[in-house]
Amino acid sequence: MFKKLPKLFFLLISSLIVLISLFFAFASFFQAKSNVSQQSIRFVIPKGQALSIIASRLEEADLIKSKWAFRFAVYKNDLTNKIQAGSFELSSDMNTWEIAHALTVGTDDTWITLPEGWRLEEIAESLSKQGLENFNQTEFLNLSKGLEGQLFPDTYLVPREITTTTLLSLLKNTFASKVSSGLSKEISSSKMSLNEVLTLASLVQRESANDGEMPLVAQILLNRLDINMPLQVDATLQYVKGYSKTELSWWQTPLAEDKKLDSLYNTYKNAGLPPGPICNPGLAAIKAALNPGQTQALYYIHDNSGKIHTAITLEEHNTNVNKYLR
């Protein structure tokens, strides 16, 4: 019996050594990527990004040793629902636990979303409520005069201390990148000027129920232009009328009497496109204006479910109105 003790003792010691080795090997995955102080880098987490993708991106950026160790650290400390979207200053001399915690601490940046189809005043109004320390609504409106249609609608990550001029430049630069440069070939080959493309796109944006029908709406409006038929777009009447204190909206319900409004933007009184855009259209609407669909229709309506119905003749159009709206 006593002769077996050395063997048992040896096995226990061996097992203990193996366990300790495994422990240190496991723990090493949570250590900092670098033992020397490193310059921090800006790491951005978009809204709704999955933890698995965040972990992989951290590993690819050489900020952590193992994406699996990071995910373990997050689950172990119950941080799954605490990681924030935003911009963070991280460095490879931070260990995995520190990085996981850093991503839960409030960021100095904030996400702002500017939907497609908003006019300048709506954008300015929204930005004034975003907690941007140095944003001035009046200054923004003054600086953006003449830029309707060129403030690109998107989701932006910006510093809370961003100035009005810097923010406006960001919107303009994004437009330049995605439209002026991104669609330069299509714009140069179009028979319309950039202002006309944006104006048509703004009408398409406000008149369409979804991106899929935008090329169809664009072609119908172009068909009207081709025969010098007034565009008769209700959204232009809404643009002329402006903000409604009753409806608390910049896009109040148009009335029959509004068709008599004295404005160059009134497309019931004036043939052709209005002088400029009535909103800031998204990329889908701009592409639709540049590459419209194929149809001979001159009329369209949306039924109560939002489905579009087109017609070539006024008689067909009236039939659709009676069938789907009355």
Q: How many CB atoms lie within 10 A of CB 216?
A: 20
- pTM, two decimals, is 0.77
% of the chain residues with pLDDT over 70: 89
How does pLDDT run across 96-130, given as a tens digit for each residue?
888 898 888 767 788 899 999 999 999 999 999 99
Which has the closest alpha carbon to 316: 296, 293, 299?
Answer: 299
How does pLDDT run across 297-315, given as a tens digit for each residue?
999 999 999 999 999 999 9
d(CA 170, CA 160): 14
Domain count, the chain: 3
Shared domain for 176 and 202, answered yes or no, is no
Which stretch of 70-74, 140-144, 265-269 has the lowest confidence by average pLDDT?
70-74
Q: 61: domain CATH number? A: 3.30.1490.480
**Do the domain assignments include residue 276?**
yes
Q: What is the largest CA-CA distance in the chain?
A: 111
Domain limits for position 244? 191-324
Which has the closest alpha carbon to 310: 318, 298, 293?
Answer: 298
Show which of 85, 107, 129 is a domain's final residue.
107
User: DSSP string of 47-74?
Assistant: TT--HHHHHHHHHHTTS-S-HHHHHHHH
How does pLDDT run across 228-258, given as a tens digit for each residue?
999 999 999 999 999 999 999 999 999 999 9
d(CA 289, CA 222): 9
% of the chain residues with pLDDT over 90: 67
Show which of 107, 139, 161 is a domain's final residue.
107
**Do the domain assignments include residue 18?**
no
Beta bridge partners of 244: 249
**Do the domain assignments include residue 16?**
no
List the structure tokens of 290.
Answer: 């540049």
- Taking CA atoms, 278 is separated from 72, 121, 305, in Å, by 51, 11, 25
List the structure tokens of 203.
Answer: 């009408």
d(CA 121, CA 41): 36
Residue 181 DSSP symbol: I
The answer to whether 193 touches 276, Cβ cutoff 8 Å, is no
Shared domain for 144 and 207, answered yes or no, is no
Shared domain for 128 and 95, answered yes or no, is no
Shared domain for 114 and 98, answered yes or no, is no
Residue whose structure tokens are 């490193």: 38
d(CA 124, CA 137): 6
By three-state DSSP, how is residue 278 classified?
coil
